[in-house]
Every structure is written in C-alpha cells, then in structure tokens.
Structure 1
Amino acid sequence: MTLSDSVFYDSVPISDNFLSLSDPAQFTPLPETWVLGVADIVDSTGEIARGRYKTVNMVGAAVISGMINALGGRIFPYVFGGDGAGFAVSGEDAEIARDTLATLQSWAETEFAITLRAALVSVADIRAAGRDLRVARFAPSTGVDYAMFTGGGLAWAEAQMKSGQLVVQPAGPDAQPDLTGLSCRWSNSPARVGQIVSLVIQPTSESNEAEFAALTQSILSVAEGLERAGHPVPAKGPPMSFPPPGVDIDAHVSRAGRNLLMQKTRLMIGNMLIGLLFKTGMRLGQFEPKHYKEMVSRNADFRKFDDGLKMTLDCDSSTLEKLTQMLEDAQTKGKIRYGMHAQQEAMMTCFVPSAMRDDHVHFVDGASGGYAQAAASMRA
C-alpha cells in the first residue's frame, strides 16, 4: 500500500495544538495522483450587499456536505472559506468530485439564483505549475478534526478557476445533490469582549515559509491572550431563537425537489420540538442537549490555515490594535497581504451526520460579510 492510495489521509497525523501548525514541517505532501477541487460564488460581495451572506455561507458549505455525502462518509481533507470551499480526494474519486461539483452548481442556480463556479486539478499539475499542496489535521475536540492546507496550490487553483481555467461545467437544471445534514438554524453569537473580527492573511512571493511561519506564530500568540483564544461561540453553545434564523434557506437545502412550503412547515415543527428539548434540558434517548451544545462550541472551525491564515475572533480593541500593527508592519515590508472585516456577530453553518455522536461539523464566519469581505478588502 502506498501513500497514493485512497487511505493516504488516514495516515496524516492529527494535532490538537493549533499554534504548532504554523510550522511547515507539520504538513504532509499530498500524493500526485490526488485531485484538488475548489468552488466559490461569483459576485459574493454583491450578494452580501443584498443581505444574503447567510445564503452565501450555506452554498459554500454545501460544497463540503455534498462531497461528504457523495463519498459515503469516507474522510478527506476540506476547508471552508465563507463564500466557497476547497477539498482534495484521491484520483479514484475524481469523477465523483466532478459530478458533485457539477450538480452543486446547477442546484445553487435553481434554488438561490447564485452562480457557483468550480474547478478540478490534479496535484501533479499543481506541482508542475511550481506550487505545492500539503495538508495537516487539527482536532479542536475529540469529536472532529479539520484539514489545514499550505504550499500555494489551493490559492493557485482558485486563481486559475477565476480566470476561466480548469472549470467544471454545471449539470442539468434538475440535478439534486445529497445535502443531508447541512443546516444553519442557530442564532448568531454576539461579540462578548469587543467585535467579531474576520482576518485573511496570505504570504507574498517576497516571503519564504520560515518568515511566514514566524509571523503567524506571533499573531497566534497574541490571539491566544484573548478569552478562549478569541473563540467567537460561547462555551455553552450558540444562542437559539424561534422561529430559527435561516429556516427558509434550510427549506431550500433540504427539500430535494419537494414542495418548499411543506418542507418549511416540517422544519418549523421539528425545530419547535428541538427547541423544547434545549430549553428544558430533557434527554431524548442518547441525545443530551447540554452536551450537544457544548460540543457545537468545541467543534467550531473558527481558525484555519488555508494557504495563509484565516480567523474569526471575538477581539477586544487593544488586541485588535496589536494585531493590526503587526499586520501593517509585515505588509509594508512586502511579506504579506491581509484583509480584515469587523462586525458585531458571528454566524455558524453546520453539518450534522448524527446528533447522537460528537462528530458534527460547525463552520464559523462573521455575520455581515466575514471572510468574503476581508478577502475583498485585501484585493482592494
């Protein structure tokens, strides 16, 4: 058995120390037979201006949930970017990835009138272009772990996609992805110590890996001084309200061609019962509400390495000033590009294969533009 087999990702070590992942030596090269998939929403800034960022987040997360379901729950590396996502799979699964991306594009247009673009490229081609693709695994809890990417391959593939290269064509208009488990029914988490700050930091060609590692280590060390390292979701879980925000979006996601109003009614009834369980703390079989909410917070993906560093932090003014000064100094020296967007709340998009287990996945972003707005300001 070689590392090019589909079991490669199982062999990648799992770390529970996020700061250690600033060290490039912690990342493992992906086999050249693997393929990288990327997708993002065209004109996401326009969608945000129209008040649709929760929808943007949902479509971005749909790329990941669609792939998880298409692969039957087999593990693979992926990363959520707010208005899109990236993932890597073995060459054996390349056609599954292509079909899933094609289906998701058609679904996004049909359900939300959103244009999702997508691309697929082999790791061998990434390296031939002078970039690399290496991966690490970070476990924020005992329930889940998230992939981290470095090497420049992900950013290169996204740039190629935006220029019209490597594109995956949409499927037919009636295509339906399997998005079982994808939802966004939690209320937003307000900032507790200052503002919810979304940061996107990328190295430039003038910065080598050692320099960028040293900078990210310094930035993370400052962020560690925040309450719970800046974690924007309360330790006891995010707030709930009824009717749940995003129930219309959830109905579009889960209806699978069924009547939209009937699906929304089903969700409202289900959420009423779920809300009652959380309010009373009453157990239902193996489901324990208090434990589940705590695991939602522990499992939340609020910081990641994604060919750079991305974080959504609950940040006080003095820490924000320190971070901004460090970033400005590095940018002035030509070592990085960065974008920042501040807002008052964080929001969450979730993938829950089973509420009875601890492996539910929760993607965190700023509630009024988050990573997408931070990236837009970086481009500007």
Structure 2
Amino acid sequence: MATPARSTNRFRILTMPSTVAGIAAGNAADNADFYRLLPAQTSFAEAAQGRLQADLPPDWWIVIADVADSTRAIEAGAYKDVNTVGVACIAAVVNVDRSLELPYVFGGDGATFAVPGTLREQILPALRAAQKLAREAFKLRLRVGLVRVGELSTQGFWVRLGKLRISPHVTQPVLSGRGWEEAERRVKAADASGALLVNEDDGPAEGSFEGFECRWQGVPSFNDHKLALLVAATAADAQTNLDTYGRVLQRIEAIYGDVAQYHPLRVDRLRLALRPRLLSHELQVRAQRRPPLQRLNYLARMVCGNLAGRLLFALGRDTKAVRWSRYRDELVQNSDFRKFDGMLRMVIDGSDAQAMQLEDWLEGEYRAGRLAYGTHKSRLALLTCIVQSYNGQHQHFVDGSDGGYALAARGLKQRLSRPAASPPG
C-alpha cells in the first residue's frame, strides 16, 4: 500500500481478555482465531485511542500489497483501476479460508493484512493471482511482501491490533505500533531486507475473486466535494499522539457536525450502474479470462440484475436472496469511510468553507509539530465492494475519485519529510 510512514506511537494494551491473552501465548493452530476472538469496540473515537488492543502473535505475518507507480497511473486517468486491484487483492486473500476472520485495511492503492502463520503458504498463490490480474487486466504491477511479526517485535517494532464494530454484521481492524510501518518500509526497500517478496512467476498463481463487486455509480457530493483526509500524529510520546487524534476528531465534529452530516454516502443518493463502462471493472476481475460469449453473458446478467435492483429498491420489496428494503441502509453502515491504521483516514462530504477551516486548523497543528496531514478534494465517492451475503455480510470500500487517498498521501509525505515545526516552503 503506497502509504506514508505511520506515527511512531506505542499503544498500551488497556484491556486484553484472558481468552485472547491465552491464544496469543498458545500454539500456532490456536493463534489462527486470534482476530476473531478480539473484543470489538463500538466507538470509533475510543478505538482510535487504543482501547482493547493486543499484541499480534509472533507467528503471524504482515502482508503489504500496493500498486507500484500508482501516482503515474492515477495521473493517466486509471484511478478506478488502481482501486479495483487493491480490493481484488483483499477478495483473493479472504477467499483462501472463509472460516477465518482476517484483519485487512484498504488504502486506496493497495491493502495491508495480517495472517496467521498456518495460512502463509496457502495465501501465496492467491497473492500471485492478484498480481497476475493486475498485470493482465489493468496493466498495473502489484507489489506484495510479507514480514513475520516475531522478527519485528524482537527488534522493538511493536505490532498491535484492535477491532471496531461498524455495524451488526461487519467489523474493521484498528492498527497501531511501529511494526506496521516497518513492515511496509522493508517490503518497499530496494533490497527488501527482512521481507518475503511475492512474485507472480515463483509458483502457482491461483485464487478466487468471488464476492468482488463494483456495481454502483459514484456518489456525488451533497455540498461541494468529497475530502480524502490523512492525519498522522508525529510526537515522540504515545499519549501525546493519542491526545492529538482525539482533538482532530473533535475538531472535525465541531466543523462538520455529527457523522450523519459528513458521511460521504446517503441512501437516497446510491444508484446502481447500468452503463457497461461503469460495470467493466467487475467484469475484468470476475470474468477476464473467460471466453467472449461468457464475458458478454456475465455483463448482461449484471445489467439485468441492476435493472431489477432499481425496481425492487423503488418498491421496497424483499426477495429470498436480497433484503432490498434494507440493503442500502446496510451499505452505508458497512462502509469504511473512516478508519485507523496507525494514522487517521477519512472521506468526508462537506463544503469548501468547511474544508478551508479544517485545513487552517491542521496547518497550525502541523507547524506546532504535533501532526502531519494530507488532503485531496474529489467530485465523487467511489464504492468498491466485497459481498459474502446480500443479507448483512457485505463490505463497501470508500475512496475519493480522481486520486482520493493516494493523492492525499503526497501532501502527507511532503509534510512528514520536513522538520516538524518549520513553515512550508
């Protein structure tokens, strides 16, 4: 994931139930359930404060996947392609063993995962399949590498994990500790020292992209724009950084109002796509290697399904397969429009005046040496989805169009590279 260096906070484990602690200390087979057994927070603000986090077991691996040269691809107009590859990679890994609950974070141009050691060999062919898809269908190069958690922790790079419940059916991980940043650095280093790189030609490239869907139109702004926001606290002290994130969330609420007012998605603005161009990304992922007639049949089924969906949404009718009367409400609830992976990531709907007010405040915090940030304004919010069930178990990844998180990361990197309290030149 082409993400700038994360904050160096080291979070305390404030509470770790004995069940989780026992599994963390147990054998590798037991550790496979580590993430499933983590207690879930229900408050985003509390989750960002490091509540109920635990050290990842040493036999687990961090997986970093990102589209190389993503900025160039975005500048060439291929941002939806970049988005698609990142979510398709998530689908490939999740489908390796659906009985396991795995933590993953979508970053716009890639993804970060944690997987138990017992699953490592099984996910390698799936990761190669994602690389092959990126190359053949989208002419992109997906860079993938793995780093063992035990190696990081013995060298002082902590790897911690929490869980946030965003809806009755969906959770998302909360990452903290310098180990995630260090794993990314090793995977992207020229010599990849300390990382196991995954190369498409080194073995079987076999995986399933079942569940990957991309059937929604972009969601236009309800005000002036969608703001992709990245914030990384930069103090040396962990508690100071926690306080900084808390103040950022408070400032966002003071400027934009409650979550419902700045959420980038609204039920009445969600529209299923009918144009083949908007459905082509799912077609490429799910049917790219099929014969032409089968590809045409897949496209026709998507169009017909979306036509039927539009009608059933309007009527509020449910079927055995889909609760159409509730699906869009669930979609909004199950979206990852805000997350914490060692830094704060959000897509916010708001006005230009609100964005200016927020950026002025962030600039003051940056000049004071407390944080670095990056922003990017887009016309639309893009939705890319993984659907295990149309009745609750579906997750929707949100980013801004025309660059989103990836272009916001450029501003963040520039600020991180400057001395903390120096004014921008």
Whether the TM-score (by the shorter chain) exceeds 0.5 is yes
Looking at structure 1, the residues matched to 368 and 277 of structure 2 have their Cα atoms a distance apart, in angstroms, of 43
For normalisation by structure 1, the TM-score amounts to: 0.93
Structure with bigger gyration radius = 2
Of 175, 182, 185, which aligns to 1:156?
182
Please list, as runs of the form range in 1=range in 2, the aligned pairs for 1:43-82 lying within 5 A after superposition.
Answer: 43-82=69-108
When structure 1 is superposed on structure 2, of 142-151 and 226-235 the one drifting more is: 226-235
Does 1:247 find its partner at 2:279? yes
Q: Which position in structure 2 is the counterpart of 1:292?
A: 327
Looking at structure 1, the residues matched to 116 and 314 of structure 2 have their Cα atoms a distance apart, in angstroms, of 44
Of 199, 206, 209, which aligns to 2:238?
209
Does 1:308 find its partner at 2:340? no
Looking at structure 2, the residues matched to 335 and 245 of structure 1 have their Cα atoms a distance apart, in angstroms, of 44
Question: Would the alpha carbon gap of residues 75 and 325 (structure 1) be closer, same or farther in structure 2, given more than 3 Å must change?
Answer: same
Counterpart secondary structure, 2:113 = strand
Q: For residue 62 of structure 1, what is the amino acid of its counterpart? A: A
Looking at structure 2, the residues matched to 53 and 280 of structure 1 have their Cα atoms a distance apart, in angstroms, of 35
The unaligned stretches of length 5 or more in structure 2 are: 1-21, 415-425
Counterpart secondary structure, 2:346 = strand
Contact 1:223-1:319 at 8 Å conserved across structures? no
Contact 1:106-1:172 at 8 Å conserved across structures? no
Q: For residue 88 of structure 2, what is the amino acid of its counterpart? A: A
Aligned-pair CA distance for 1:172:
6.9
Q: For residue 278 of structure 1, what is the amino acid of its counterpart? A: F
Aligned residues: 378
State the percentage of identical aligned residues: 30
Question: Would the alpha carbon gap of residues 279 and 52 (structure 1) be closer, same or farther in structure 2, given more than 3 Å must change?
Answer: farther
Q: For residue 334 of structure 2, what is the amino acid of its counterpart? A: N
Please list, as runs of the form range in 1=range in 2, the aligned pairs for 1:80-91 lying within 5 A after superposition.
Answer: 80-91=106-117
For normalisation by structure 2, the TM-score amounts to: 0.83
Q: For residue 402 of structure 2, what is the amino acid of its counterpart? A: S
C-alpha distance after superposition, 1:329-366 (max 9, x if no partner): 232233322211011211111000121x2010111111
Q: For residue 2 of structure 1, what is the amino acid of its counterpart? A: I
C-alpha distance after superposition, 1:115-154 (max 9, x if no partner): 0000101111222343211111111211201111111222
Question: Would the alpha carbon gap of residues 286 and 237 (structure 1) be closer, same or farther in structure 2, given more than 3 Å must change?
Answer: farther
Aligned-pair CA distance for 1:72:
2.2
Does 1:377 find its partner at 2:411? yes
Looking at structure 2, the residues matched to 291 and 212 of structure 1 have their Cα atoms a distance apart, in angstroms, of 39
Contact 1:345-1:366 at 8 Å conserved across structures? yes
Looking at structure 1, the residues matched to 36 and 259 of structure 2 have their Cα atoms a distance apart, in angstroms, of 33
Contact 1:37-1:97 at 8 Å conserved across structures? no
Question: Would the alpha carbon gap of residues 245 and 290 (structure 1) be closer, same or farther in structure 2, given more than 3 Å must change?
Answer: farther
Please list, as runs of the form range in 1=range in 2, the aligned pairs for 1:320-359 lying within 5 A after superposition.
Answer: 320-355=355-390, 357-359=391-393
C-alpha distance after superposition, 1:259-285 (max 9, x if no partner): 254233343333333333334333222
Aligned-pair CA distance for 1:244:
6.0
Q: For residue 85 of structure 1, what is the amino acid of its counterpart? A: A
Aligned-pair CA distance for 1:97:
2.6
Q: Which position in structure 2 is the counterpart of 1:280?
A: 315
Please list, as runs of the form range in 1=range in 2, the aligned pairs for 1:174-253 lying within 5 A after superposition.
Answer: 175-204=205-234, 206-224=235-253, 225-226=257-258, 228=260, 230-236=262-268, 238-243=270-275, 246-253=278-285
Contact 2:309-2:324 at 8 Å conserved across structures? no
Aligned-pair CA distance for 1:25:
4.0
Looking at structure 2, the residues matched to 313 and 370 of structure 1 have their Cα atoms a distance apart, in angstroms, of 11
Looking at structure 1, the residues matched to 361 and 126 of structure 2 have their Cα atoms a distance apart, in angstroms, of 41
Aligned-pair CA distance for 1:290:
2.3
Aligned-pair CA distance for 1:23:
1.4
Counterpart secondary structure, 1:2 = helix
Looking at structure 2, the residues matched to 266 and 366 of structure 1 have their Cα atoms a distance apart, in angstroms, of 28
Counterpart secondary structure, 1:75 = coil
Q: For residue 130 of structure 1, what is the amino acid of its counterpart? A: G
When structure 1 is superposed on structure 2, of 44-53 and 110-119 the one drifting more is: 44-53
When structure 1 is superposed on structure 2, of 52-61 and 79-88 the one drifting more is: 52-61
When structure 1 is superposed on structure 2, of 274-283 and 290-299 the one drifting more is: 274-283
Does 1:112 find its partner at 2:134? no
Counterpart secondary structure, 1:156 = helix
Looking at structure 2, the residues matched to 248 and 71 of structure 1 have their Cα atoms a distance apart, in angstroms, of 27
Contact 2:126-2:206 at 8 Å conserved across structures? no
C-alpha distance after superposition, 1:204-225 (max 9, x if no partner): 3x43221121111111123232
Please list, as runs of the form range in 1=range in 2, the aligned pairs for 1:106-145 lying within 5 A after superposition.
Answer: 106-145=132-171
Aligned-pair CA distance for 1:310:
0.6
Q: Which position in structure 1 is the counterpart of 2:12?
A: none
Contact 1:187-1:244 at 8 Å conserved across structures? no
Contact 2:84-2:384 at 8 Å conserved across structures? yes
Q: Which position in structure 2 is the counterpart of 1:38?
A: 64
Aligned-pair CA distance for 1:318:
4.2
Question: Would the alpha carbon gap of residues 245 and 143 (structure 1) be closer, same or farther in structure 2, given more than 3 Å must change?
Answer: farther
Looking at structure 2, the residues matched to 319 and 235 of structure 1 have their Cα atoms a distance apart, in angstroms, of 23
Query: RMSD of aligned C-alpha atoms?
Result: 2.1
The unaligned stretches of length 5 or more in structure 1 are: none
Q: For residue 374 of structure 1, what is the amino acid of its counterpart? A: A
Question: Would the alpha carbon gap of residues 158 and 68 (structure 1) be closer, same or farther in structure 2, given more than 3 Å must change?
Answer: same
